[in-house]
Chains A and B, each alone.
Chain A
Amino acid sequence: NAGVMQNPRHLVRRRGQEARLRCSPMKGHSHVYWYRQLPEEGLKFMVYLQKENIIDESGMPKERFSAEFPKEGPSILRIQQVVRGDSAAYFCASSPSQAIFQETQYFGPGTRLLVL
């Protein structure tokens, strides 16, 4: 059973470009979470999605950031018009369900975004 997969692992963008980060959850998992880890800071929650639904985007910046989890295919975190402050590691996690709080979330290897 493959774990959570993220691609690309490293992404370099110039200021003003768009960044698209992909996450394929573990097989059988229908819940996806995105976290951001800024340099010298802890992981911060961004958004929680189920298939075709955004459930909680309380940690998502109001502008330039969007996320989706379509019926088919991976979850996408999209950052428009990137700025240097967006440089960070972006982690995706998945779980089989949300309602069971005893469960953990399984994390992918992350995408390291560098904005020049």
Chain B
Amino acid sequence: KQEVTQIPAALSVPEGENLVLNCSFTDSAIYNLQWFRQDPGKGLTSLLLIQSSQREQTSGRLNASLDKSSGRSTLYIAASQPGDSATYLCAVRRGGNQFYFGTGTSLTVIP
């Protein structure tokens, strides 16, 4: 059974700081890994999708890496802004029809 863990559960940083969110998964036989953003009372917004054959993906100030063999992914956010405050979810797709989600990291960027 696939278990996805995210550390830390909550993070508070001053504006402008670079930060790293961590995700680990127990079964390395995955098709892809995806990072989502969830704002309070809203749905999920896809940030970055990394295929199992890839090592990283970048979009603007975001960079996600994937080390399948060790079952880890990191999401790096550069020059954080208050608008980045949200819950960040990591999800892996192992084949089949579903994503397996972590419980998320709640990020607060203080102006």
A binds B: yes
B97/A42 in contact, CB under 8 A = no
B103/A40 in contact, CB under 8 A = yes
Interfacial chain B residues near A40, Cβ < 8 Å: 103
User: Contact size class for B?
Assistant: 20 to 34
Interfacial chain B residues near A110, Cβ < 8 Å: 42-43
Segment of A11-19, A62-70, A75-83, A100-108 in the binding face: A100-108
Interfacial chain A residues near B91, Cβ < 8 Å: 43
Write the nearest CB–CB distance from A55 to chain B, whole angstroms.
6
Interfacial chain B residues near A33, Cβ < 8 Å: 97-98
User: Contact size class for A?
Assistant: 20 to 34
Write the nearest CB–CB distance from A75 to chain B, whole angstroms.
14
B contacts, CB < 8 Å to A:
4, 31-32, 34, 36, 41-46, 49, 51, 89, 91, 93, 95-104
A48/B97 in contact, CB under 8 A = yes
Interfacial chain A residues near B93, Cβ < 8 Å: 101
Q: List 27 A–B pairs whose Cβ atoms lie within 8 Å, in order of A's numbering.
A: A4-B43, A33-B98, A35-B101, A41-B103, A42-B4, A42-B89, A42-B102, A42-B103, A43-B99, A43-B101, A45-B98, A45-B100, A56-B97, A91-B43, A93-B44, A98-B97, A101-B32, A102-B32, A102-B49, A102-B51, A104-B34, A104-B49, A107-B44, A109-B41, A109-B42, A110-B43, A112-B41
* Binding site secondary structure of chain B: strand
A contacts, CB < 8 Å to B:
4, 33, 35, 40-45, 48, 55-56, 59, 91, 93, 98, 101-102, 104-110, 112
Write the nearest CB–CB distance from A59 to chain B, whole angstroms.
7
B103/A91 in contact, CB under 8 A = no
- Top 7 nearest A-B pairs (CB, nearest first) are A45-B98, A48-B97, A107-B44, A42-B101, A101-B31, A109-B43, A43-B101
